[in-house]
A and B are shown apart, each in its own frame.
Chain A
Amino acid sequence: MNATVNLAKKSIGHLLPDRFRPVIDHESCKRCKRCVAECSFKAIDFIDDRVTSTGGCVACGRCAAFCPAGAIEIEVIQDQFPPHANFTERIRRGIMSQASTGGVLLSSCGTDVEHPVIFDELLLDAAQVTNPSIDPLREEIETITFLGRRSGKLTVSEKDSFAFVSEIGPVVAIDMPLMIGHISLGSVSYNAQKALFMAAKELNIIAGSGEGGLHPDFYVYADHINSEVASGRFGVTSDYLNKVATVEIKIGQGAKPGHGGHLPGEKVTDLISRTRMIPVGTDALSPYPHHDIYSIEDLQQLISVLKEATEYRVPIGVKIAATHNVAAVSSGIVRAGADFLTIDGFRGGTGSSPRIIRDHAGMPIEVAVAVVDKRLTEEELRNKVTLCAGGSIRSSADMIKCIALGADLVMVCTAALIAMGCHVCQQCHRGLCSWGIATQRPELTSRLDSDVAAARVTNLFSAWNEELKEVLGAMGIDSVESLVGNRDRLRYFGANPKVAEIMGVKHVGEGWG
């Protein structure tokens, strides 16, 4: 047998044991077969007059949520391998899978590796005695946030009895320091994206269009849309640039620094093909770099051409992944003319990414936003640009801490999807999302009611904004801009004081000043 060159690439099957299993209580089961219909992963079937698990369960939770008898529990199947603290089950599964396929391990959502979460090691301040706290239920606490470039200096002329002369650049005002990040049409369904845009409009914030172009039906939401110019330039027409609220150049994404977008062929349906203008069924891979940006002056050129193309009426921003040199890169981007800058931390989500990049590359957003804020302040640039930060902002606590670390506003994606039904089962790249979110199959996408989903996302972020006000009030601050970069309102109580030092956050027990 010629077992030489091609042997390694031949798929040599080796079945990996399942990690999850739906457990059915057959006494309560009504045999309605609703679960079989709901499961999109073919993990459950009706065989011999019984609902049976058939393998391949991903714990998406759909069957359990829809069982009218509450007869299903999803079991996590533990200890399928002999215990080993170093060659963990996850590591062994990875090896075995790659031995079978010879491929780059692919996954989706944000990294699930147990790295320490710095947000959870930060505590907030409160005001007392020397300073009164403010009651947000009775006194107004302002959360309006501006996105766009600022001049740092206003000229109010003395001639003609103080006529006001200074020009203000294009600026967008949003009602809370939060925007929905870029989630492309393609990685999620039409109904899902529609829900996000509806929520953005209701909340008076902006939502990212993602790099999949903007479906013509969604132009009604244009003044709440942040359109994305990514390396694949999908759907970048003059309407896409001119009708929207803001435009953002995507250099990178926290989940996969250095990589471009990746939409597996399974999800490139007719709809996606039309919106992105590529053939049906192909893998929609965006190039890793923008092929017109190989250096910082090239970025300046792209920013300038976009400003010119939009006649200077739209703020132009840049999004980068948080990497080791993020402070210097940010400084360059601001000098290149960006009106707002988004930094995406390594825990950010994605519809599809190689595990090796998703789990091991990048920088936590907590540290990234702090060092960028510090560097821009040192270089006298901080008050000229709006800084946005994201990458696993999971709750209002994360949002508040991120703002205190240096962000003007945060960018949130995964939490919005969870509000719509996502259970973070990390199967988005397969296009089989049973909740109708990360899929293009019509029988699945029809399960997501945009109105209901939009209302849930609106509820979530409204509640976060109320919690923001509670914290601001407790700190004696009545407007969110007085928290931006106010690291003195945070204290670190984790295991590694060096982290606190780099972020410029004091250690728990240290006083003010």
Chain B
Amino acid sequence: MVESHSAHEFNGVELSGVVEGDTVFIRADGRDSLGHPLDYHALNTVIRKAMMTKCKRIVLEGVLGQRYIGSASSRSDLKIDIHGTPGNNLGAFLDGSTIEVFGNAQDLTGNTMNSGKIVVHGNAWDVTGLAARGGEILIKGDSGYRVGIHMKEFGGMKPAIVIGGSAKDYLGEYMAGGTILVLRMGPDNGKSRIGHNIGAGMHGGSIFVKGQVLHHQLGRGAVFGDIVEDDIQRLEELIRDFEEAFKVGVPRDWSAFSKVCPNTYRPFSGHYDPTLI
């Protein structure tokens, strides 16, 4: 038994912006009378309005947990700068734009992205780059669990995730294409164990990790591989992008890298019995 729905409204949060040159500045740090930060829907609506103009850059200040920022953004000439902590699903379904975060990101960064670039001057946590099909995600610090699950590549689209620090369990699970590169340059100098179940169920793509990876850390269907000329070319490209984004130098010591790749393209043949009984 439901009574009539009358909504209670509270003092809203002001959201304002300033235009300077071809950049739009948006302050997102307001709080309402209940202490809630700016609602993501309002923020994203304003961002989309700004995207419809000819601006080349959108700068967000005071972001605190707002989700879905830059989702499905398809203007490849647009850059979104984020100061603060963006919420989950940053740049989900991204299709061309560049997003740069000055802070840490949360979970699901670059979820199912198609093209574009996401740069994080900090950490990004779990499920980064889920099902990415193209574009690049560059993370200066650490990432979390289940990074790069089911990345795919086709034709000229080759997705990549580069992590400056380390990652945890289930890295590149179900991978069907693309490249994951883990540099382990974090403050502990590569001591933190990269997780286990690396590449479980992978049937395409490659994972490169600086430093030793032990056999028991590999997931089912993943094996060690040799780094070949094509790999080095791709790694050079990615490392250059990383160095440029974060103004650091990365040693090109290929012998220190481990490569994880699929054992076969049909990892589970022999598992099923199709007999008519």
Q: Could you list which residues of chain A lie within 8 angstroms of chain B, going by C-beta atoms?
A: 135, 137-140, 463, 466
Contact = CB atoms under 8 A, between A and B. Distances in A.
Contact of A139 (B200, B267, B271, B273): B200
B197 A466 contact: no
B271 A138 contact: no
A138 B273 contact: no
B201 A463 contact: no
A139 B149 CA distance: 13
Interface in B193-229: 197, 200-201, 219-221
Main secondary structure of the interface of A (DSSP, over half): loop
A135 B268 CA distance: 12
B271 A466 contact: yes
A192 B216 CA distance: 38
Contacts of A463: 273
Main secondary structure of the interface of B (DSSP, over half): loop
A463 B221 CA distance: 19
B273 A137 contact: no
Tier of interface size on chain B: 10 to 19
B174 interface: yes
Interface of B: 170, 173-174, 197, 200-201, 219-221, 267-268, 271, 273
Nearest to A466: B271
B233 to A, nearest CB: 30
A466 B219 CA distance: 17
A139 B222 CA distance: 13
A463 B197 CA distance: 23
B7 to A, nearest CB: 28
18 contacts: A135-B201, A137-B201, A137-B220, A137-B267, A137-B268, A138-B173, A138-B174, A138-B197, A138-B200, A138-B201, A138-B219, A138-B220, A139-B170, A139-B197, A139-B200, A140-B197, A463-B273, A466-B271
A466 B201 CA distance: 16
B214 to A, nearest CB: 16
A267 B76 CA distance: 84
Nearest to A140: B197
A469 to B, nearest CB: 11
Contacts of A140: 197
Contacts of A135: 201
A139 B220 CA distance: 8
Nearest to A470: B271
A191 to B, nearest CB: 26
Contacts of B220: 137-138
Contacts of A139: 170, 197, 200
Contacts of A466: 271
A137 B197 contact: no
A139 B197 CA distance: 7
